[in-house]
């Protein structure tokens, strides 16, 4: 950590907890000014008090709120150089019983929300005129399917292709676009896995390094992709999964059965 992002301004969605929070912490440590975006008002207040970051209360599935968040970054910092589309959530259901409203909710949050961040934060970076970096948080489930996770897997796979298209279209503006695909990370969002007997053990067994990840490890790659040392890196998805994609995804039907 140092001053690799000094003078840079970043927008991070899903910033109040988990991976998003770790990314905000790392960006601040590396010298960036950060606008933290979330639907968690109390979490944003705690983040602002602790780190002094700017905040915006916004639902990433709402286009007007996403546009307002990007505008807030420009107003707060006079520029935008980095955007991280991190907000997301999972859902577990057998495909044949999957409620369509939950299918739509997960795709809206995990895919459309990323699209709207790319669209509106991307415009703000273009308006700044100095190029920049957009990072989307995908998942191991973008490439490794899981029983019971149809909506989440489909949404995260969509993110990886969206990143490639965005990199093609925004490259002429000097904007690089990449995705990070984490495996199992210990956060509040994955607490259900950690509470269910045998789930974490199977995740760990299927890695090549024999453990799960901490949010700071995802943030470390985000900091690299946001900074100048990745200046020739674009249109790529980077796995941070401990090699889990070489194995098999845990059978959640068996492990989470009532």
Catalytic residues: 152
Q: How far is 37 from 253, CA to CA, in rounded Å?
A: 34
Question: Tokens representing 163?
Answer: 């990143």
Contact 81, 8 (CB under 8 A): yes
Q: How far is 180 from 236, CA to CA, in rounded Å?
A: 8
Question: What is the edge-to-edge ordering of all strands in the sheet holding 33-38?
Answer: 54-57, 33-38, 9-13, 82-85, 132-137, 175-182, 237-240
Question: Tokens representing 153?
Answer: 């897997």
Q: How far is 166 from 83, CA to CA, in rounded Å?
A: 13
Q: How far is 11 from 74, CA to CA, in rounded Å?
A: 10
Question: Which single residue is written with the structure tokens 């005129």?
Answer: 129
Torsion over CA: 30, 34, 40, 43 (sign): positive
Q: How far is 60 from 151, CA to CA, in rounded Å?
A: 17
Strands (E) in 164-253, as ranges, are 175-182, 237-240
Torsion over CA: 90, 94, 96, 97 (sign): negative
Question: Tokens representing 162?
Answer: 């969206």
């Amino acid at each position: 950590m140092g001053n690799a992002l000094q003078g840079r301004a970043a927008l991070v969605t899903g910033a109040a907890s988990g991976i998003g929070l770790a990314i905000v912490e790392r960006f601040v440590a590396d010298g960036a000014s950060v606008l933290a975006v979330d639907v968690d008002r109390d979490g944003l207040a705690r983040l602002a008090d602790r780190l002094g970051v700017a905040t915006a209360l916004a639902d990433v599935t709402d286009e007007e709120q996403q546009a307002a968040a990007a505008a807030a970054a420009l107003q707060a910092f006079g520029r935008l150089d980095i955007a991280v589309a991190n907000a997301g959530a999972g859902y577990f259901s057998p495909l044949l019983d999957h409620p369509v409203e939950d299918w739509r909710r997960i795709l809206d949050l995990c895919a459309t929300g990323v699209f709207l961040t790319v669209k509106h934060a991307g415009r703000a970076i273009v308006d700044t005129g100095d190029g920049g970096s957009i990072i989307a948080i995908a998942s191991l489930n973008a490439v490794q399917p899981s029983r019971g996770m149809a909506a989440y897997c489909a949404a995260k796979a969509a993110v990886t292709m969206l990143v490639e298209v965005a990199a093609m279209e925004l490259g002429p503006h000097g904007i690089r676009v990449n995705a990070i695909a984490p495996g199992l990370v210990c956060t509040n969002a994955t607490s259900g896995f950690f509470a269910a007997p045998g789930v974490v053990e199977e995740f760990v067994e299927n890695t090549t390094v024999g453990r799960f990840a901490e949010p700071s490890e995802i943030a470390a790659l985000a900091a690299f992709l946001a900074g100048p040392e990745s200046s020739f890196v674009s249109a790529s998805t980077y796995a941070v999964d401990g090699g889990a994609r070489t194995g098999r995804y845990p059978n959640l039907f068996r492990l989470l059965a009532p």
